[in-house]
Structure 1
Amino acid sequence: MKPVLSNQQHQTASSLVGFSTFEISVPSLPPGIVINDPANVEHVLKNNDIFIKGEFFRIRSWDLFGNGIINADGDLWKIQRKAGLRFFSNANLRNFIDNVVPPILLDTEEFLDSAVRKGRVIDLQIVLLDLTTRLMGNMAYDMDMPASLPFSKSFDFASGATGERFQNPFWKLKEFILGAPLRRAVFDIKKFGNSIVSAAIQKRKSDHGSSKTDIQRNSDPLQNNLINSLLDHINDHQVVADAAMNYLSAGTDTTAQSLTWTFYLLMRHPDAREKVLSELRSTFTEANHVLPLSFDTVQPSHLPYIAAVFNESLRFYPPVPVELKESTAETTFPDGTWLPKGSVVMWATWAMGRSKNTWGDDADKFRPERWLIAGDEGEPLVLKTMSAFAFPVFNGGPRACLGKRMAELLAVHVIASLIWKYDFAEVFDKEAILGETPKERRSQNSLTLPMEGGLPCYVRRKDSGAGESS
């Protein structure tokens, strides 16, 4: 049974204009609709019992995500979210920014310094992925996980292959014939997830005979990591392994990709880059050439322009460009659209971020200032809060992203640190070298939004003159 669309033209899912609702007419998808109106998105995100991941999504993503939180519904989702809530506590976030980030970020800077000395081109996307993977590994699993691990390549490959399943109605036939590389990648991913759980269980056993009590462990941010929280809440170790890999993907790939697009936009908009430096100079007037970055000083409210740059980058390049849900009951949307049980509903965060209805006539322009409100005379700028349903980058409602605050704090920290110390310049293609306008970089096929071909660039170390170029 097809959805009945009130006062709407029946168009294909590719016709994303304004706040209209469209019937899906795509061979690989079941009957459903594409929504663009924030009010309709709010209806979906607030009704977690009506709109679930569903079998259409779960069947295609099962190999990669298993019973992890990305795939889960109902009680299985609730218990994993409860474990995540404990991990993303304020105490853990403070420990993350003040103790975990600085030494690993220093390793990143040493790598960049080496590239400067040798005059090497770097792939900034790989550099940032290595940074976020090591950070999440240390904080969540008490393990050092460089992105060079075979697991990372396997996950990247499997994510792309899984994304293709949503586009190809004959994916099962294709993988029956050509699916060996994907099966090997999934095997590597599962093996790595199980190794995380095994290592954590072994450590818990060794700690059991020590003087640490459960109360002491729960009050210690270094011990109250994600894997311990998952093991405390979930008895099935395979589910724990699936959940661990889901959280690892959400905490590394999406953050690294978002930072990659942010630095790309700053390279393409030197005026915004100069405003970042200006904010740092005016905020840290006593810095003595070293920024005193900490949990307190990287709050978005403390460095609002840098936070606005990150938000504007997310508006253009959301890490999850398309979302899909399945209805468990018939429902009527705020615009009058009726949807029967078992249908799917999609919204493109990527398209919503470019909607002139929401963002104005300059929606196609990179303008961080749209996120800022001028204070009274002499007062600092204030970061504007946007509805999670008009700007659903971090989802909203009951399934709002648990790692939102961690991602924002880390982004401000990394942007401030690297822009203060380094100049980055893109390695352009032949057209740009010949004087033509450089092509806009594209994303590769994936469930998330990695930059196709990475972000090759030149890097130069600034002198110690408070962010001034040498």
Structure 2
Amino acid sequence: MKPSLFTFILPNTTMKLPFGYFELILALICYFSFFFYRQRHAALYDWPLLGMLPAFTRGAGKVHERCTEIFRQTGGTFLFKGPWFVHMDMLATVNPYDVHHIMSSNFLNFPKGNEFREIFEVLGDGIFNSDNELWRSHRKVTNALINNQKFFRFLARMNTEKLTNGLVPVLNNVASRGVVVDMQDVFQRLTFDTTCMFVTGYDPGCLSVDFKDVPFSRAMDEAEEAIFVRHVLPKGVWKLQRWLGVGKEKKLKKAWETLDDVIYGLIARKRRDLSDGVMSKNEAMGVDILTSLLTEKQTYSDGFKQDDKFLRDAILNIMIAGRDTTSSSLTWFLWLVMSHPDVERKIRDEINTIIPEYELGKPRIFEAEETNKLIYMHAAFCEALRLYPPVPFQHKGPVKPDVLPSGYRVDPNTKIMFSLYAMGRMETIWGDDSVEFKPERWITENHTIRHEPSYKFLSFNAGPRTCIGKQVAFNQMKAVGATILHNYNFKMVKGHVVAPNVSIILYMKHGLKVKVAPRWT
């Protein structure tokens, strides 16, 4: 009688296995050989149990470049598979048609949602966190205030004042001392001051020659770092950290307290000033947003009340948008212009065309209104925003099942992420020169700014959520850009490495370290 076992010989060992085991071992060898061959040629390894997370975290320090590489390999859309035991699966896309579908044509099916609000809970019920009627109320009121002529007058006066008494003295000081300065820090301080001024009417004086520490600004930075960590950690992990009061969640708690203390203090101070008539003398020169909210009757849907909590959330949302996005844009713009002498020369030549002849060759501060004629500079800012969008990624989720234009089916359990950073580098969207810094791509034959659809150029969002403050941001950026490039030369510190950080705001990881020299004596 033949044995029912197959004898499998190993070196110096004899093992007897049932015949079926041999086939199983052979099948497993074939499977894993095919698996690892396939994974070597895949954009991301899909490991058993762990999904694509190990392969993705290998490039965690260069997450934006890693995403761009993957999108190129996958044709613009891919399904990221997380570990099986946590809810981390995500559909990632840079397909403009998918973006248009999500942000515009089927907007109501893709709200911010509960998960977004959980991650960004420090923002409260502000415009970035809210949906439906609450969002419409925020947007209606904010839009009315920002487009108010009083506000525009106040903004123009405040911006010129901060350039005159803040930015120019600081740059003159570091230039005279011959010291290295971090222009990213300078721009953050500048935009923090200007945002505080146009939102609350008060100048915190963050931008000064002594570079004083400002706890509120530091708290904003720490809150943003914690928000990013919540994006990459499973929900259960960061919620446990929050409960235990450890890690980034501990810092977020303290930052939150600082933000609340300062903002509620500003609201109380504003109420006292208005009651005492302190602000009335400035009415003819324009008013800040908080003053307008407190003095002008606002209409809200669903009987929504404008209490101090509403004011706190509105102020914090606008301050984060005003400080972070504008300072990020200015930082990347300056570095790109410094790195491209031909662009710098063209911008300076254009600036000279708006200066009266008797003022040529002299120091000068530019006001927002006169910079409207700087078409090439505007194009350079657009190009900087294309390559280095201040908010490098967004995520959404559908309320109801849907099919995207790319053919992917999504349902309420699907997370959808699109990378603005990668979109700006896609040859399929911007052509073979997509990675090059070319302001000319934004200028038409009639020497006007070329319009690009928002689902392709997403730096100011798209659809109903398009940024209300887009024009305000461009006015400030161009006034700052003209002032610094006309008055100063900037030289990068030798050996300084420029690389994007990993956060919800696209800053430079090591800052922008330069030396400054005046162009005119």
Tell me the TM-score normalised to structure 2 length.
Answer: 0.77
Kindly state the Cα deviation for residue 111 of structure 1 after the two structures are TM-superposed: 1.0
Helix, strand or coil at the partner of 1:383: coil
CA displacement at 1:395 relative to structure 2: 0.4
Answer with 1 or 2: which has the greater Rg. Answer: 2
Q: Name which of 431, 434, 440 aligns with 1:369.
A: 440
Q: CA deviation at 1:398?
A: 0.7
1:297 and 2:370 matched: yes
SS in 1 for 2:107: coil
Change (3 A) 1:459 1:29: farther
- Which residue identity does 1:104 align to in structure 2? K
Distance apart, 1:182 and its partner CA? 2.6
Structure 2 counterpart of 1:444, from 484, 487, 501:
501
Matches within 5 A, 1:338-357: 338-357=409-428
Amino acid at match of 1:298: T
Contact 2:195–2:323 under 8 Å retained in 1? yes
Per the alignment, do residues 340 and 325 of structure 1 end up closer, same or farther by CA in structure 2, a change over 3 Å counting? same
TM-fit CA distance, 1:242: 1.6
Question: Secondary structure of the residue that 1:318 maps to in structure 2?
Answer: coil
340-349 or 363-372, which moves further after superposition? 340-349
Q: State which of 128, 141, 154 in structure 2 corresponds to 1:70.
A: 128
Kept in 2: contact 1:197–1:227 (CA 8 A)? no
Give the residue type in structure 1 aligned to 2:254: R
Equivalent residue for 1:261, pick from 329, 332, 338: 332
Paired amino acid for 2:473 = A
**Alignment RMSD (CA, Å):** 2.6
| Residue type at the aligned position of 1:198 | A
The one-letter amino acid paired with 1:398 is P
Q: Residue 83 of structure 1 contacts residue 230 of structure 1 at CA under 8 Å; is this kept in 2? A: no
Deviations 1:199-237 (A, max 9, x none): 2222333349x989xxx96xx562352453378544231
| Aligned partners of 1:322 and 1:350 also within 8 Å | yes
Match of 1:51 among 110, 117, 129: 110
Q: Pick which of 168-177 and 225-234 moved more.
A: 225-234
Equivalence for 1:142: 201
Residues 24 and 34 in structure 1, CA contact (< 8 A), matched pair in contact too: yes
C-alpha spacing 1:287/1:48, structure 2 compared with 1 (3 Å): farther
Instruction: Name the aligned partner's letter for residue 20 of structure 1.
Output: G
Question: Take 2:266 and 2:130, find their aligned partners in 1: how far apart are those partners?
Answer: 20
What SS class does the counterpart of residue 139 from structure 2 fall into?
helix
Alignment-derived partner of residue 484 in structure 2: 418
Question: Deviation string for 1:72-120 (max 9, x for gaps)?
Answer: 1112211111221022116256415531111110121011111111112
Cα deviation, residue 189, structure 1? 1.2
Q: CA deviation at 1:172?
A: 2.6
Alpha-carbon distance, 1:139 to partner: 1.4
Counterpart CA distance in 1 for 2:285 and 2:398 is: 39
Distance 1:268 1:224, change over 3 A: closer
Residue aligning to 1:86: 144
CA contact 2:125–2:310 (8 Å) conserved in 1 = yes
Deviation string for 1:116-170 (max 9, x for gaps)? 1111211111111111111111112111123442110111012112101111122
Q: Is the 8 A contact 2:365 2:483 kept in 1?
A: no
Larger helix proportion, structure 1 or 2? Answer: 2
Q: 1:308 & 1:92 partners in 2: Cα distance? A: 28
1:407 Cα deviation after fit: 0.7
Higher relative contact order (CA 8 A, sep 6+): 1
Partner of 2:71: 16
Q: Offset of 1:288 from its aligned partner? A: 1.2
Number of aligned residue pairs: 433
Q: Aligned to 2:161, what secondary structure does the other structure show?
A: helix
Q: Tell me which residue corresponds to 2:172.
A: 113
1:266 and 1:185 map into 2 onto residues whose CA distance is 35
Map 1:142-161; keep pairs closer than 5 Å: 142-147=201-206, 148-161=213-226
Asked if the contact 2:154–2:287 (Cα under 8 Å) also holds between the matched residues in 1, the reply is: no
Task: After TM superposition, list the pairs within 5 Å mapping 1:219-238 onto structure 2.
Answer: 222-223=286-287, 225-226=289-290, 228-229=292-293, 232-233=297-298, 234-238=305-309
Distance in 1 between residues matched to 2:160 and 2:119, nearest whole Å: 39
Deviation of 1:283 (Å): 3.6
Residue equivalent to 2:460: 394
In structure 2, stretches of 5+ residues that fail to align are: 1-41, 45-51, 57-66, 207-212, 299-304
Q: Give the whole-Å Cα distance in 1 for the aligned partners of 2:516 and 2:487.
A: 10
Deviations 1:248-305 (A, max 9, x none): 0101111011101111111111111111111112343536135583443222xx1111
Question: 2:227 aligned with 1:162, yes or no?
Answer: yes
Q: Secondary structure at the match of 1:144?
A: coil
- Aligned-partner Cα distance in 2 for 1:203–1:51: 42
1:55–1:415 Cα change, 3 Å? same
Contact conserved, 2:491 with 2:514, CA < 8 A, in 1?
yes
SS at match of 1:449: coil
Matched residue, 2:4: none
Whole-angstrom distance in 2 between the partners of 1:457 and 1:295 = 26
Deviations 1:165-190 (A, max 9, x none): 11112223344233433321121112
Match for 2:71: what amino acid?
L
Q: Could you tell me how far apart the structure 1 residues matched to 2:92 and 2:327 are?
A: 28
Amino acid at match of 1:108: L
- 1:145-224 equivalences under 5 Å are 145-147=204-206, 148-169=213-234, 170-175=237-242, 176=244, 177-178=246-247, 179-207=249-277, 222-223=286-287
* Residue 31 of structure 2: aligned partner: none
Contact 1:94/1:295 (CA < 8 Å) preserved in 2?
no
Q: For 2:503 and 2:291, locate their aligned partners in 1 and report how far apart those are by CA, in whole Å.
A: 26
Cα separation, 2, equivalents of 1:160 and 1:130:
18
2:395 aligned with 1:324: yes
Identity %: 28
Q: Which one-letter code corresponds to 2:198 in the other structure? A: M
Unaligned runs of 5+ in 1: 1-8, 376-380, 430-437, 465-470
What is aligned with 1:433?
Answer: none
Q: Which amino acid aligns with 1:110?
A: P
Q: Which moved more, 1:30-39 or 1:321-330?
A: 30-39
